[in-house]
Structures are given as structure tokens and as C-alpha cells.
Amino acid sequence: MNGGDEVVAASADPSLPLEWRFSQVFGERSAGEEVQEVDIISAIEFDNSGNHLATGDRGGRVVLFERTDTNNSSGTRRELEEADYPLRHPEFRYKTEFQSHDPEFDYLKSLEIEEKINKIRWCQTANGALFLLSTNDKTIKFWKVQDKKIKKICDMNSDPSRTIGNGTVASSSNSNITSSCLVNGGVSEVNNSLCTDFSLPPGGISSLRLPVVVTSHESSPMARCRRVYAHAHDYHINSISNNSDGETFISADDLRINLWNLEISNQSFNIVDVKPAKMEDLSEVITSAEFHPTHCNMLAYSSSKGSIRLIDLRQSALCDSHSKLFEEPEQAGPKSFFTEIIASVSDIKFAKEGRYLLSRDYMTLKLWDINMDAGPVATFQVHEYLKPKLCDLYENDSIFDKFECCISGNGLRAATGSYSNLFRVFGVAPGSTETATLEASRNPMRRHVPIPSRPSRTLSSITRVVSRGSESPGVDGNTNALDYTTKLLHLAWHPNENSIACAAANSLYMYYA
């Protein structure tokens, strides 16, 4: 499972290109093994500390992993770096899993509601317990996961050596037998209809010891649904996002964004509504929404037309108008049938400090400065070689795939997925030409070929667009034919380290640099 026990020293210069290595894989499938639809991973999310990782799948399950290498050395990562202490790559282990959502049926609309997990978001921890939000197309749930001590029933008259199934006692013992325990609440009662060989000891039982519940030193994680936020969306939920105040969160569907309080499940406030009076006039839908990481009054949402709107909740209760609009400047020349389809933004992510915003459309990854709305600061070509194949991609619906994006904790790099289980890492710092193509496998650099960068072109004196990452048409970085059925849609970057978790079908791969 682990990619070796080598020790890796932290790089002195964070701007140097990273060398990515395989770390771990969970759920790796053997060659030729068929993947069940319900096992395909549909959501990945690190918590704020980076010590826990959650994944959701199409079967409605949430699986939690916890980091195991945090106790190997004392001191913070920065202190260890300054002391030149060798650092091991992050290692995670399976913690627990639970069924978050089940398939439902809306009888009023004659609509089946899938159990597939669309998004997972971690909430603030409290009293050693983990809290997270998970959502499918219609319902959001608030979960609490906490280690519970295992309780055992001890000090009874029964002889544990003569018990049968379900803890039923086959024969009673005398009072001289040492006290024992029946784990998991085994019932120690005599049932003559089941136990024909039962007989009292000579002289009978001198004393009766009542069972005692004893808490053992062992513990087991238990998941409990604290609240259910339902019946607030007419359309499929595509995003949930926590507020920095720790008390509220938003949920977004195609036409509306609702604001919730974590403690109130039966009421939400509609803060964005783009539904026109006549559905015939509908020209764009909401594709993603994200709260600002530090300002609790600001959030951004993207649309199918490729624009991103920044809104301020202090302006009005219903945010009909935006405070800033970010969109690509109008391109000269003719437009094709696919122009608007590939411009649709599938995901947006704020950088940790909140100044920069990362967006992903079908062809490109864009970096925006929220202080500059003239255009993106940089544009990175993810798979420009697909442009001649847009018609084929439309025919097999691949053109509607929604790829996610993520940005490193220091804001210097960004990553996003592609086809053939490839994902790409770009250096987004000013002047950086770093570009890497990796495969979700035990040998991530197998298909990696250095790609020359294109010369940058200036839009204005304020905004500079850097276009990098173009490749030869129809092939990946190692001249292999692309497989459109294997797509890497979901990935997450560790909040404090250069570590990426990505999903290839039902397998969870982890890499570090």
C-alpha cells in the first residue's frame, strides 16, 4: 500500500519544480477487474488540519481516513524544517465508513433520487469529534464522527466456555468460576427449549451475580447523523461550502443558492436566485459556489457561460446584483457550436489567503485576482489537443464532464484532472513555467514529458495571461491514445503540504513531493 519508506527532506526553495512520488493507494483493482458503479469515488476532501481525508462514492457511502505519521516526530513542520529534520511523506490509514445517503423516490415528481455523494465539506472539530457535511442531489446531512469506548458485560454466573450462538448459555457454572465477560451484549439466560443438556451444579447456585457493564480501553469510531437539511432545492445540488464563521454554510443548485445555519435544519434563506420569470428566457445556470476563506460576508459562484460573480452578503438580503464580475474578454473571430459549452465553469476554489480564485472549464484552468476583474491573471491549457475532437466528445457526452480543480496551501501550484486517468500540476506563481503531467498509478511519472511553454501575451498593463500546457493533438504526454472512459474528475490538495489525493474510478491514489 505504501510507496516505500524513504525519507524526504523538505525543499529549501518552494518555487523549484517538484518531483512527484507515489505514496499510497486504497482500493486498487487488479488487471481486468470490473468496477462496480456504486464503488466509484465521487467526492474527495481534506480537513483543515490535513490529518483526515474523506471520500464519498456513488453508493452513498462516506469513507474516512486518518493520518498515521503525525506522531513520529515532535514539533511543527516549520520547526522540523528549520532544524533540518528529515520528513516522511504523509501516510494515511482507513478509519471508518458509514452509509450517508440511500436511494429515494420523489412521488410528487416521479423522480428517482440517487444516493451518490456530490460533495463533502469538513466542519470545525469540537471535543475530539469530527464533523462534516455530505450531500446528494437533494438532501444535505450533518455528521458527527467520534471514538466511542467499547462496553462489555461482565461478572456473571455463566461459564463463557459453554456458550452457544448469540451468547445463550448452554450450561450454568457454579459460583467458584472466575468472573468473565460477554462482549457486545451477549445474553446469558437459560433457555431450556434450546439447551437440553442444562443442569444445575450440585447444591445449586449459592449466589447470583448481576451483570455489570464495564467500559474497556478499546474504542471504535461511530458516525451519527446530527441534522438533515432537506426540501430546499428543486434542482440538483452541485455545491456546498462552509463559512469561515463556523456557523453557516451555503448550498447551490442550478438556479438558487441557499444560506443555512448548522443548528437549524428546517429553515434556509435564499440569497441568489437566477430563475427567470419564464423558463424560456433561461440563458445560464449556476455551476459552482464557494465561500471566501476568511471574509464571512463574501462568496463567489460560477455560471455555465464561463463567468464568475463575487457577491457581498452585506449589500442586500437577496443578492440580485454582484459586487464584481470575472469573465474572459470577448474573443475576436467566429464562434462555434461548442464555444459556450466548453466555456462552462465546472469548479472554483479560493486560495488559502483568499486573494486568488482558481476556476476550471472544460479546456483550461484559470487563475483570477479578485482585485482585478479585467481578465484572468493566468490561463493554463489542460488538454488543448482535444479541440479537433469536440464533435466526438459531444456525441459521447464527454464534453459535459465536470473536472474539479485544487490549489496548494501556499498558493504556488494548482492541479486538475484529465482523461486516461491523468492529472496535471501547474506552477501558478508569477514567472513560473512548471508543468507536470502525471498518471494515477503506482508510477505517476510514466507518461510525463516536459512540455515547452508558450510565450505569454499581454492583454493590458494590468492583467497578464500566461498560456501553458499545450500538447500534440489526440495523444497524451507520451504519445498514447487517450481513453475517454477513464477520467480523473476528483482530486484534493493537502492544506499544508505538497500532497495530492485523486480518484481513479474506485481507487484512491495519493502522491507527495
The pLDDT tens digits of the residues spanning 45-62 come to: 999 999 999 999 999 999
293 and 243 in contact (C-beta within 8 Å)?
A: no
Nearest CA among 304, 308, 378, 313 for reference residue 348 = 308
> pLDDT value at position 79?
58
Grid coordinates of 183: 462482549
DSSP 46-73: E-TTSSEEEEEETTSEEEEEEESSTTSS
Q: Is 444 helix (H, G, I), strand (E, B) or coil?
A: coil
CB 136 within 8 A of CB 101: yes
The angle formed by the CA atoms of residues 390, 395 and 400, to the nearest 5 degrees, is 70
With 0-12 / 13-18 / 19 or more C-beta atoms within 10 angstroms meaning exposed / middle / buried, residue 284 is: middle
| Cβ contact 328:342 at 8 Å | no
pTM of the model: 0.79
Is 484 buried (19+), middle (13-18) or exposed (0-12) by CB count in 10 A?
middle
Return all residues near 504 (Cβ < 8 A) that are at least 6 apart: 421, 440, 441, 486, 488
* Distance separating alpha carbons of residues 41 and 63, to the nearest angstrom: 10
- The strand pair at 467-468 and 378-381 is best described as parallel
Q: Are strands 464-465 and 457-458 parallel, antiparallel or unpaired?
A: antiparallel
What's residue 202's pLDDT?
Answer: 74
Helix, strand or coil, per DSSP, at residue 306: coil
Q: Which three cell numbers stand for residue 390?
A: 469536440
d(CA 25, CA 27): 7
Amino acid sitting at position 71? N
How large is the C-alpha radius of gyration of the chain?
27
pLDDT recorded at residue 75: 53
Residues of the chain with pLDDT below 70 are 1-15, 70-88, 155-201, 204-208, 446-481
What is the model's pLDDT at position 1?
54
Q: Which of 285, 279, 283, 288 is nearest to 252 (CA)?
A: 288
Inter-CA distances, 480 with 382, 420, 469, 476, 490, Å: 16, 9, 17, 6, 22
**Pick from 481, 360, 479, 375: which is nearest to 426 by CA?**
360
pLDDT the model gives residue 151: 77
CA 191/CA 198 separation, integer angstroms = 9
Length of the chain, in residues: 513
Contact partners, residue 339, CB within 8 Å, separation at least 6: none
